[in-house]
Amino acid sequence: MDSLQQQRVSVIGAARSGVAVARLLASHGAHVFVSDRQAEATIAQAVAELRGAGIETETGGHSPRVFECSLMVISPGVPSDAPVVRDAQQRGIRVVSELEVGSWFCPAPIIAITGSNGKTTTTTLVGRVLGDAKKEHVVAGNIGTAFSSVVLDLAETHTVVLEVSSFQLDHTERFRPSIAALLNITPDHMDRYGHSMERYAASKARIFRNQTKNDVLVYNADDEWTRRVVANARCRTVAFSIQRALDEGAFVERDELVIRMGGATVSVIPTEQISIRGAHNLANAMAAALIGQLSGVSAASMRATLRNFKGVEHRLEFVREVDGVRYVNDSKATNVDSVWYALQSFREPIVVLLGGRDKGNDYARLTELVRAHVRSIVAIGESAGTVEAAFRDVVPIRHAASMEEAVTVARSVAHRGDVVLLSPACASFDWFRNYEHRGEVFKQLVEAL
C-alpha cells in the first residue's frame, strides 16, 4: 500500500466497482484517473461522485492519457482483449482487476465463491449462515456491493464473503481466499472467451491459484470441468456431490444432507426440509453447509438457516398468480445451463420468455427439456431469431418486441395451471441496464395484470 503513494493509476470503467476502487486508491495517495467509453450524461452520477472526491475523469472514450500510468485497474465489464487493455500491456503497464486491488487492503479472511451457476444464491446463503450464527461478516463482490467499497470498514475479526465472476478473476495476481468454492463450470460468456471452454475454465480456476495447504477449496465433484481444473490445486480440497457418497465432504445419505469430515459424519438437515427447491439448490446448500462447517458454524444453526432461507431475487422468484397461472421471475438465468435447471424445477406446463443479448449460446442442450415441459416460447430481444431457429420444430414460437408485449403474449397462450417463466438464457443489455432491471420490469408488468 505504501508503494501507491504518488503512483499514477488509470481506472478503466466508471461503474460501481470502478468508482469504488478509484476512491480506495485515491484515499491511499495515488493519483487516479478514471476513463469510461460511455457518454457523461449516461454515467452522470458516477462522474459527479468521482469529481466530488477530487478524482479526474474522462468520458466518451479512452484518450492517450490513460497510458500515463504505472498501474491500470479494469472493471469487470471491460474485456481482457479490449484495445485499451491490449495497448496498456504492450506498453508494459501492469493491469489488474478491482478484485485484486481490494484484496491488497483486506485485513479479514476471505470466503470467495464462483461458478457458472448458483454463485449468487450460495453467496447469499453463506452470508445468512454466518449471520444466523452471530459471526461478523460482510457480503460483497459480484453480488452488488463492490469489494473495494467495504475493505476499509473490515477488521481481522470479520469474514468477507465474496461472489466472484470469471471477469473479476481475470487479471488477479495475489488474490487468495482462505476458503474458495467452485460450484460448477458450464458454458457461459463464450463470446468473451473466444468460444473456448479451456480459457473460461482457466479463468474460474484462478480462484484457488494462490491458495496454499493452509487454505481450503470446496468444489463440485459431480461437474466434469470442475474436477478437471481442481486436479491442479495445491490446497486442501473438500467436495460435495448430490449423486454419490464421499469419503470426505457433503452428500446425501438416507434422504439427509450430511457432512463427513475428519472421520465423523454429521447430519445437517433432511433434504425435504431445505426451503430452496431443485437439485441445483441442493448442490448450493451443500456448498454453503461445507463453508459453514469450515467456519465453525454448528449443524443445528445451519439446519435452521436452510429451513428458513427463501432464495434470492430474480432467481426462480414467484411473483404472483393470475387466473390460475403462476408468474416466475428468473431474470438471473443469463446462460443456457441456468435455464436447464429452471425448466426442471416445474411439473406444470411452462410458457417461457427466452432471449436477449446472446453470449454464444448453444441451445441444443435444452431441446428435450423444452419438448417435455414447455407449452410455448415467447422469443424476445436481439436473439429472438436465434431462439426461433433453435426451437421452431419443437414447440410453438411467438415473438414480442418489448417486455410488455412479451407478458401480454405469454398471458394469452398460457392455460390455467401453467407457469409463465422469464428465464432468458441471455444477457439483458439489449433492452435493459442489467438483469435486475429486466426482472423488475417483468415483475411490475405482472403486478399490473
Residues 65 and 173 in one domain: no
Q: Mark out the alpha helices in 116-176 (DSSP H runs).
A: 119-132, 166-169
Residue 202 pLDDT grade (very low, low, confident, very high; cuts 50, 70, 90): very high
Where is pLDDT greater, at 80 or 440? 440
Torsion angle defined by CA atoms of residues 151, 153, 154 and 157, in that order, rounded to the nearest 10 degrees: 180
State the CATH number of the domain containing residue 32. 3.40.50.720
Where is pLDDT greater, at 67 or 117? 67
399 is catalytic: no
pLDDT tens-digit series, residues 278-290: 888 999 999 999 9
Helical (H) or strand (E) element with 22 = helix 16-27
Residues 325 and 380 in one domain: yes
204 is catalytic: no
Q: Look up the pTM and report it.
A: 0.80
Amino acid at the residue 367: T
Pairing of strands 249-253, 256-261: antiparallel
Q: pLDDT at residue 190 above 60?
A: no
Mean pLDDT of 98-104: 96
Residues 423 and 403 in one domain: yes
Mean of per-residue pLDDT scores for the chain? 94
- State which of 53, 81, 98 marks the end of a domain: 98
Q: pLDDT at residue 40 above 60?
A: yes
Mean pLDDT of 303-322: 91
Give the three-state DSSP class for 89. helix
Q: pLDDT at residue 184 above 70?
A: yes
Residues 204 and 296 in one domain: yes
- Catalytic-labelled residue, pool 62, 137, 171, 189: 189
Residues 298 and 339 in one domain: no
- State which of 256, 283, 308 marks the end of a domain: 308
Q: pLDDT at residue 393 above 70?
A: yes
Residues 38 and 156 in one domain: no
Order of all β-strands in the sheet with 56-58 = 56-58, 31-35, 8-12, 71-74, 94-97
- 76-105 burial, b for 16+ CB within 10 Å, e for fewer? bebbbebebbeebeeeebebbbbbbbbbbb
pLDDT recorded at residue 131: 97
Residues 227 and 78 in one domain: no
> Are the C-beta atoms of 172 and 178 separated by less than 8 Å?
no
Q: Give the residue carrying C-alpha cell 419443437.
A: 394
Where is pLDDT greater, at 187 or 359? 359
Q: pLDDT at residue 141 above 90?
A: yes
Residue 205 DSSP class: H
- Catalytic-labelled residue, pool 119, 158, 280, 373: 119
> Are the C-beta atoms of 321 and 327 separated by less than 8 Å?
yes
Q: How far apart are CA 355 and CA 53, in angstroms?
A: 40
Domain count within the chain: 3
Residues 82 and 170 in one domain: no
State the CATH number of the domain containing residue 369. 3.90.190.20
Question: In sequence order, which residues have a C-beta less than 8 Å from that of residue 49 and are 6 or more positions away?
Answer: 19
Question: In sequence order, which residues have a C-beta less than 8 Å from that of residue 153 and are 6 or more positions away?
Answer: 138
Residues 329 and 240 in one domain: no
Please report the sign of the dihedral spanned by the C-alpha atoms of residue 87, residue 90, residue 92, residue 97.
Answer: positive
Which residue from 112, 215, 125 is spatially nearest to 166, judged by alpha carbons? 112
Query: How many Cα neighbours within 13 Å face the side chain of 161?
Result: 23
Mean pLDDT of 83-101: 96
Pick the range with the lowest mean pLDDT from 41-55, 82-96, 240-254, 304-318: 304-318
State the CATH number of the domain containing residue 221. 3.40.1190.10
Q: How far apart are CA 379 and CA 394, in angstroms?
A: 14
Where is pLDDT greater, at 144 or 412? 412
Residues 156 and 91 in one domain: no
Q: How far apart are CA 293 and CA 259, in angstroms?
A: 8
142 is catalytic: yes
pLDDT recorded at residue 3: 79
- State which of 77, 98, 119 marks the end of a domain: 98
Which residue from 428, 398, 403 is spatially nearest to 414, judged by alpha carbons? 398
Residues 299 and 442 in one domain: no
Q: Which three cell numbers stand for residue 241?
A: 456431490
Q: How far apart are CA 119 and CA 180, in angstroms?
A: 12
Residues 78 and 158 in one domain: no
Q: Which domain holds residue 77?
A: 2-98
> Are the C-beta atoms of 194 and 80 separated by less than 8 Å?
no
Q: How far apart are CA 183 and CA 280, in angstroms?
A: 10
Instruction: Supply the DSSP string of 335-358, one letter for each residue.
Output: SHHHHHHHHTT-SS-EEEEE-SB-
First to last CA, the chain: 55
Q: Is 113 exposed, middle or buried (0-12, 13-18, 19+ CB in 10 A)?
A: buried
- Catalytic-labelled residue, pool 62, 137, 142, 314: 142
Amino acid at the residue 333: A
Which residue from 36, 192, 174 is spatially nearest to 96, judged by alpha carbons? 174
